[in-house]
Structure 1
Amino acid sequence: MTPAELSRILANDAERVARTLLPNGKKASGEWKAGNVEGDTGQSLGVVLNGDKAGVWKDFSTGEGGDLIDLFMAVNRVTLAEAIQQAKDYLGVRDDRYRVSTTKPKREYKRPERPASVKKPKPESPVRDYLRGRGLTDATLDAFRIAEDGRNIVFPFLRDDELVFLKWLGVDRPDGKKKIRASADCEPCLFGWQAVPPDARTITIVEGECFPGSAEIMTPSGWVALSDYQTGKVAQYRNGQMEFVSPLARIQKPFSGHLVRYESRGYVSETTPGHRMVSIDHKGNTYKHAASEGPRNAQNLIPRVGVLNGPGLGLSKAQIAVCLAVSADASIDARKQSYAGGAARNLAPSHRYARFGFKKDRKVDRLRSVLRESGIEFSDNAIANGYHSICFSIPEWVPGRELPWSWIEQASQEEREFIIAELEKWDGNGVAGRNQSEFSSKLKANADWVQALAHTTGRVSTIMHRRNDFGEWYKVSILHGKQTTSWQRLKGKDEAVPYEGDVFCVQVPSGMLMVRQEGKVTITGNCDAMSAWQAGYPALSVPFGGGAGDKQRWIEYEYDRLQRFDEIYLAMDNDTAGQEGVAEIVKRLGRERCRIVRLPSKDWNDCLTGMIPEADIAACYAHAESMDPEKLVSVDAFAPGLHRLLENPMENSGLALPWDKTEQQIRFRGSETTIWTGWNGHGKSQLLGFIAVSSIIKSGASFCVASMEMKPEINLLRMVRQAAGIGAPSHAYADRILDAMRGRLWIYDQLGSADLNDMLAAFRYAARRYGVKHFIVDSLAKLGLGEEDYDGQKRAINAITGFAHEMDVHVHLVAHPRKGMDENRPPNKMDVRGGASLTDMADNVVTVWRNKPKERETERMEQDPTVKPEHQDEGDVRMIVSKQRGGTAWEGTIALWFDRASFQYLGRESHRAQPMVAFSAQEAA
């Protein structure tokens, strides 16, 4: 119950509540009068006892007031959560967690340790500067207990002051992309509980935009595609500087629509329309804007480089030069130890030996010089055809042919400049008349390395693939005076690229990230809960962004804590994923208290940085859309659903049966009810269980089973055998199967007669909290209804189908046929107990019938080999669909073969039982 619901119940007996809380007061003029909330006598405080305002109170001497829940808080000096519990105790309201249990204990999460490097932001740190630049005040940062870890913002996710998990967001965002990292194996949690006032009765839930997975980010170990990136440091940009930071989060979410593409000869950017790009105005200030909007002025520029000043390589310049020389021109021989090392057969094969053959005197002189400065002994000989040979044993500090990515992170600014200049002396050259140099290598890894070095040393570069009669190689063109790209030079501003699939990003503290697309490097740009709080609206931020399903799995863990709020405002992004998230949250938290806020800008931070007037934001809240169902709706409201059905017809949606041959015959969709019937002992519950376990393990479907006719352990034993494909799986293998079903299979723990309202309340809870999509009721006869109680059966099927429509789930209802009929023939839909009152309301009717004639014939043939077979080509079981309202509307018979050892149902006689979950030899024992 929400506080408002409790308060309405309390208001029905406002006088008794007032007397209990303020026993020294007196009744006067329809109010209960007291001196103050301490309970003194007097007239300052009045509680309305009757009428529409019953339960409303105010202390005119202090200005305090509210409803009766507020009175509990004020009188007893407790928090809102404590007042709610006190009111429930007063009313005798019980928090029923229902009889829903999972197949195994809920996954255990660990609490993260706070690293020693995570500290409160310094007064002038990069983290505090970045957040101030986003319009956030120091008071906001303190309220949310924001910390820093180097150039990473650290967001602590807290509940009741206990740290649940941490997120790191780097302040640097080359190309405007977020880089985010979160502590592993931690429980999903909303961000911002620590800043929500304890008496808040409303809350705003906000969403924390993106690249296709082929876009690459720079890491200390090289360029990594966003679709492959999981964790680790990435390069971020801030105020012209680059550094590697741990991201606050990794973002992956579905996107269906058009990407925005910009390109020129040396530049490419392809992102979702709302992605935050970074531009530089005429004053040199950086700002962000949506990709679809473009810059404020076409004269503005896009930053593409930064300067990374690392701690240093620990090598002298001469040693660095030796490393570059070996990478560029050495033949590395593992068979020699030194120029005077003795016979090759006596040497360790791991020892490296460098051989150089030069014609150019400048290279010979340069190599001699840096070897002497580095203290390396070498051989130096003139050889045939004008070549000069220099050979030496390679020291351990020389990486080899491939340039080391660790240098990209570690090299100081001075060392980077030296490397850029030194490259020209080996695999590079200057371009006459231009402030440009080129680097060439047959190794793509080295070309990638040099490009990364250039872009972290303040220079734009481009990689070109070259090929001729002598082979192929890669050339890196480095422009020494270029750091930006002009918007005026870009094409494709209005080009829309169709895209269907996941998009990716990482969130870094600076909000600006270095990204490479199609070999072109640029800088691009990303905290809503804090912005909303600063504007005066308590807010919590979802941990996984928009989208449905697992993206909103935090609901399971925050469900109880959110019960304290009368109204939940949803201010999610206005994209497909955002709207999917809204739909999922509304369905599971209750449409009666959810409101949709349409902000005047893309998100809360844009409202803050864009200086949106308070009155405009207040108007958005005042006009927040209610999600209450309406009885009369314009056809326009159904247009999106119609289009979805045109694109994905009903016959292609819903849960398919586990046999290939039934793919297009029948499916089980949301908002539907299926009646399963069949003679006692013909396996309707067993077949339904097989469909459930197959769908859970193979399709990731979620089921809640109310099997009032069988103990949960017995039901689970049968399902485990079906999943194993064998009659007696080991304990270890059974545990592996239960692991595969954890969080997907739930049990309504009731044996014998069940109360329909109690069961549906538990189902509703499971649908909202755990996202369960399929519910099995086995059977109608166990819902306390008499065989001839047709009115009760009609009310039951009405309630069950209503629940299916309300929660957009599928209910599988087992209903027995009338007794005293011939089991040699399958019962039809009119044979179901309750008859038309049940089957008319259901969307599908399925009969399960064992082929009794075949079974008896098989027995006779075993005893008498001369018996002529008539039924042996038929299936062991018939699944007869006698009604299907949606999809293909197909009706007919599906023949199945039964494996008695495993209880599996097979689609063809030639098929054999198969394990649904992989197992080891030890588990099979």
Structure 2
Amino acid sequence: MRASELGNLLAQDAKAVAAHLLPNGKEQSGEWCVGSIAGEEGKSLKVRLTGRKAGTWKDFAEGGSGDLLDLWREVHGLTLTQAMDEVRDYLGVHAPRFDGAAPQRPHIDKPKCQKPQSWVYRWLTEERKISPEAIAAYKIGEQSSTAVFPYIDPKGELMFVKYREAGSKKIWAEKGGVLSLFGWQAVPENDRYIIICEGELDALAWRTYGYTALSVPNGATAHTWIDNEFENLQRFDVIFLSFDMDTAGRQGLSEVIKRLGDDRCMVIELPEKDANECLMAGVTEDQMASAIGSAKTQDPDELRQASEYAEEVVSEFYPGDEAEEGIDLPWKKSHGLVRLRPGEVSLIAGVNGHGKSQLAGHIVLGAGRQGERVCIASMEFKPRKWLRRLTRQACAMTLPAPDYIRAAFKWYQDRFWVFDVTGTAKASRLLEVFRYAAKRYGIRYFVIDNLAKCGFAEDDYNGQKNFVDQLTDFAKEFEAHVIVCVHMRKGESEDKPAGKMDIKGTGAITDMVDTVATIWRNKPKEKERRKHKAEQEKIADAHKREPFDESEKPDALLMFSKQRNGEEEPTIALWFDPASFQFLGGPNKKPFRYVQYSSAGAEGPEIDWEERYA
């Protein structure tokens, strides 16, 4: 939650907050009056209690002013970040609890360098026109003819180091660092706005012009740094984005704006390619101030001219060799028939005990193997239970060794996150956490297991419909894919597959989603297997007993009754492996080890996916 949002929450009860901070004050004509920040009696400092300006204050004697968050900071002598932490506790509002990969920590030594004095100093000041004050503020170092750019976090810890040969474009980085933003060492601790640019020299140039800026570590289109800086940027009400005025810079803006918030990101248009080129070209301070004043939010993605889609439509007719967006299901025979695409919602339906959750877990592993991040909200099981089954599937065995389990969880890191709620979760909270996950971690695949645990009564059809409608909006907004497990109505028998008309709840659910699949467990085959086993056990000579023919009929059918953006609605025959909980593409296929591991502690050889498994 940003600084202005906390200030607005405090303003909703401005009188109580003012009295809490300044108990010696008195209410007069809609204002809380005291002598000063120290809190003595008087009338020099006034806090507006009502109306449009409720929560604003001004010290007419000393000149201070701001909102109630600023007042909290001034009264207690805190930094802005410290004040925000205290106010969150006071209001009882906190960021969502989210289990995922632990924050990365650097393994890097402090570089051996000195303050720029010779060639590096001349290059920065004479060629690049950087001011000595900016060089000092950003703690730039010098190693012979090399400039050293230290990436220091807001707490003063060295996170990353980049080097650049003065006068050339030769750039390299120290190993063991964490990709983060450059320039925190120069950011005033109480600022509520910041400029983010595309290079260290641009940050120094902005400082030379009189503004503080941070720089991304590795260009406009790489966004790993957002994972590590998301919380640090929460304090800023306005983020000015000053990316290079080239194709890469413009392409990178959209993802950054989506992750950091389109309501606070403003795009700066510069007269030259970047801030440092402006500085070298003689662009004035007034011109740079005008560029900031003219900064705009990015046009809504929803408003575009039809003509802009020409090449995309051509590619729809003539796909070429480019891979289609989304992920494949785990079985080779489904490739080209079914795909889980960004911006879509899918339903997996099934009768209790027919394998919906196991199938969802199997798809999650496939997504992880294809490089996607997944968030799982399984309200039917505690996280450790759901992850136990997922680990059995990942390791392809009933009882993996403890070190193998730990290796699996190492593989999960940066792939899988868990929404840690067991029981009934409110749909609004689930969506809130999903939005946070999409912004904070760039997660694109989400699983809800299942709809019945999202806080709706069985007959609350409007609530279910509205929630699924919100899921479709969420999927489109974040280019995400949401898988929702749903129950089937109880029929006369489980011996025959059911269809989409048998899904519990309102029929509008299947109308709104993009893909509908039903998993059916072959109960007649299971009865035949049990009958065959009983008959064979009657034969005294074990050598004369015949095995059951597993190949004749599948163990399960995965039936697609809707695929809005695909041309097929296939039925996929699957065979179930009880030891690994995996569904296999054929009776002679073997379970696939998603996590390769050997008892020696090293990863084992990669197993051929198509040959062994699909």
Please, what TM-score do these two structures have when normalized by structure 1?
A: 0.60
Counterpart of 2:137 in structure 1 is: 143
- C-alpha distance in 2, partners of 1:74/1:648? 60
The answer to whether the 8 A contact 1:200-1:538 is kept is no
The answer to whether the 8 A contact 1:111-1:164 is kept is no
Counterpart of 1:13 in structure 2 is: 13
Which of 700, 712, 733 is the matching residue for 2:383?
712
Counterpart of 1:121 in structure 2 is: 116
Q: What is the Cα-based RMSD across aligned positions, in Å?
A: 2.9
Which of 206, 215, 223 is the matching residue for 1:541?
215
- C-alpha distance in 1, partners of 2:438/2:301? 22
* Structure 1 residue 589: Cα displacement: 1.7
The answer to whether the 8 A contact 1:112-1:163 is kept is no
1:25-36 aligned at under 5 Å gives the runs 25-36=25-36
Cα separation, partners in 2 of 1:201 and 1:860, compared to 1, 3 Å: same
- C-alpha distance in 2, partners of 1:652/1:633? 23
SS at match of 1:846: strand
Which amino acid counterpart does residue 123 of structure 2 have in structure 1? Answer: Y
Counterpart of 1:558 in structure 2 is: 229
The answer to whether the 8 A contact 1:529-1:539 is kept is yes
- C-alpha distance in 2, partners of 1:724/1:51? 62
- C-alpha distance in 1, partners of 2:255/2:415? 17
Which of 91, 99, 102 is the matching residue for 1:101?
99
Residue-by-residue CA offset, 1:62-110 (whole Å, 9 max, x unaligned): 43322222222333322111222333344x2321432x323xx626534
Counterpart of 1:912 in structure 2 is: 590
* Structure 1 residue 606: Cα displacement: 0.9
Cα separation, partners in 2 of 1:113 and 1:653, compared to 1, 3 Å: closer
- C-alpha distance in 2, partners of 1:196/1:790? 51
Residue-by-residue CA offset, 1:421-467 (whole Å, 9 max, x unaligned): xxxxxxxxxxxxxxxxxxxxxxxxxxxxxxxxxxxxxxxxxxxxxxx
Which amino acid counterpart does residue 99 of structure 2 have in structure 1? Answer: S
The answer to whether the 8 A contact 2:105-2:159 is kept is no
Task: For CA contacts below 8 A with separation 6 or more, give which structure has more relative contact order.
Answer: 1
The answer to whether the 8 A contact 2:551-2:587 is kept is no
The answer to whether the 8 A contact 1:857-1:871 is kept is no
Cα separation, partners in 2 of 1:199 and 1:711, compared to 1, 3 Å: closer
CA radius of gyration, larger in = 1
Which amino acid counterpart does residue 556 of structure 2 have in structure 1? Answer: V
Which of 153, 165, 172 is the matching residue for 1:171?
165
SS at match of 1:766: helix
Please, what TM-score do these two structures have when normalized by structure 2?
A: 0.89
Residue-by-residue CA offset, 1:742-778 (whole Å, 9 max, x unaligned): 1101111222222222222222222111111111111
SS at match of 1:101: coil
SS at match of 2:487: coil
Counterpart of 2:361 in structure 1 is: 689
* Structure 1 residue 150: Cα displacement: 2.0
Cα separation, partners in 2 of 1:657 and 1:631, compared to 1, 3 Å: closer
Which of 168, 179, 183 is the matching residue for 1:192?
183
Counterpart of 2:570 in structure 1 is: 892
Which amino acid counterpart does residue 538 of structure 1 have in structure 2? Answer: T
Which amino acid counterpart does residue 857 of structure 1 have in structure 2? Answer: E
Residue-by-residue CA offset, 1:689-711 (whole Å, 9 max, x unaligned): 112112212x1111111112223
SS at match of 1:750: coil
Which of 804, 807, 830 is the matching residue for 2:475?
804
Is structure 2 residue 414 aligned with structure 1 residue 735?
no
Cα separation, partners in 2 of 1:724 and 1:674, compared to 1, 3 Å: same
1:357-396 aligned at under 5 Å gives the runs none
Which amino acid counterpart does residue 626 of structure 1 have in structure 2? Answer: T
Which of 785, 790, 795 is the matching residue for 2:456?
785
SS at match of 1:673: strand
The answer to whether the 8 A contact 2:154-2:232 is kept is no
* Structure 1 residue 28: Cα displacement: 4.3
- C-alpha distance in 2, partners of 1:12/1:168? 46
* Structure 1 residue 202: Cα displacement: 0.7
The answer to whether the 8 A contact 1:682-1:850 is kept is yes
- Structure 1 residue runs without a partner (length 5+): 209-525
The answer to whether the 8 A contact 2:156-2:185 is kept is no
Percent of pairs with identical residues: 39
- Structure 2 residue runs without a partner (length 5+): 537-544, 605-614
* Structure 1 residue 156: Cα displacement: 1.7
* Structure 1 residue 817: Cα displacement: 0.6
SS at match of 2:157: strand
The answer to whether the 8 A contact 1:546-1:572 is kept is yes
Cα separation, partners in 2 of 1:93 and 1:599, compared to 1, 3 Å: farther
Residue-by-residue CA offset, 1:31-72 (whole Å, 9 max, x unaligned): 444443333444443333333223333334443322222222
SS at match of 2:512: coil
Residue-by-residue CA offset, 1:211-251 (whole Å, 9 max, x unaligned): xxxxxxxxxxxxxxxxxxxxxxxxxxxxxxxxxxxxxxxxx
SS at match of 1:135: coil
Residue-by-residue CA offset, 1:328-376 (whole Å, 9 max, x unaligned): xxxxxxxxxxxxxxxxxxxxxxxxxxxxxxxxxxxxxxxxxxxxxxxxx
The answer to whether the 8 A contact 1:829-1:835 is kept is no
- C-alpha distance in 2, partners of 1:617/1:563? 25
Counterpart of 2:332 in structure 1 is: 660
Which amino acid counterpart does residue 74 of structure 1 have in structure 2? Answer: E
Counterpart of 2:611 in structure 1 is: none
Which of 255, 269, 289 is the matching residue for 1:618?
289
SS at match of 2:518: strand
Cα separation, partners in 2 of 1:602 and 1:898, compared to 1, 3 Å: same
Is structure 2 residue 2 aligned with structure 1 residue 2?
yes
- C-alpha distance in 1, partners of 2:82/2:122? 39
Which amino acid counterpart does residue 66 of structure 1 have in structure 2? Answer: G
Which amino acid counterpart does residue 345 of structure 2 have in structure 1? Answer: T
* Structure 1 residue 676: Cα displacement: 0.5
- C-alpha distance in 2, partners of 1:646/1:163? 53
* Structure 1 residue 630: Cα displacement: 7.4
Specify which structure has the higher proportion of helix: 2
Counterpart of 1:403 in structure 2 is: none
- C-alpha distance in 2, partners of 1:736/1:870? 36
Cα separation, partners in 2 of 1:119 and 1:51, compared to 1, 3 Å: same
Counterpart of 1:388 in structure 2 is: none
The answer to whether the 8 A contact 1:118-1:147 is kept is yes
- C-alpha distance in 2, partners of 1:5/1:707? 31
Cα separation, partners in 2 of 1:45 and 1:636, compared to 1, 3 Å: farther
Cα separation, partners in 2 of 1:718 and 1:870, compared to 1, 3 Å: closer
SS at match of 2:71: helix
Cα separation, partners in 2 of 1:10 and 1:751, compared to 1, 3 Å: closer
| Residues matched between the structures, number | 593
* Structure 1 residue 815: Cα displacement: 0.4
Which amino acid counterpart does residue 880 of structure 1 have in structure 2? Answer: M
Cα separation, partners in 2 of 1:93 and 1:628, compared to 1, 3 Å: farther
SS at match of 2:552: coil
Which of 150, 160, 170 is the matching residue for 1:156?
150
Counterpart of 2:505 in structure 1 is: 834
The answer to whether the 8 A contact 1:678-1:826 is kept is no
Cα separation, partners in 2 of 1:635 and 1:735, compared to 1, 3 Å: same
Which amino acid counterpart does residue 158 of structure 1 have in structure 2? Answer: I
Cα separation, partners in 2 of 1:541 and 1:709, compared to 1, 3 Å: same
The answer to whether the 8 A contact 2:270-2:288 is kept is yes
* Structure 1 residue 585: Cα displacement: 1.8
Counterpart of 2:280 in structure 1 is: 609
Is structure 2 residue 98 aligned with structure 1 residue 81?
no
The answer to whether the 8 A contact 2:464-2:506 is kept is no
Which of 109, 112, 124 is the matching residue for 2:108?
112
1:495-510 aligned at under 5 Å gives the runs none
The answer to whether the 8 A contact 1:170-1:178 is kept is yes
Counterpart of 1:873 in structure 2 is: 552
SS at match of 2:591: coil
Deviates more, 1:29-38 or 1:133-142: 29-38
The answer to whether the 8 A contact 1:878-1:896 is kept is yes
Which amino acid counterpart does residue 157 of structure 1 have in structure 2? Answer: Y
* Structure 1 residue 562: Cα displacement: 0.9
- C-alpha distance in 1, partners of 2:399/2:17? 61
Which amino acid counterpart does residue 759 of structure 1 have in structure 2? Answer: L
Is structure 2 residue 194 aligned with structure 1 residue 203?
yes
Which amino acid counterpart does residue 911 of structure 1 have in structure 2? Answer: K
- C-alpha distance in 1, partners of 2:52/2:442? 38
- C-alpha distance in 2, partners of 1:114/1:688? 46
Cα separation, partners in 2 of 1:46 and 1:710, compared to 1, 3 Å: closer
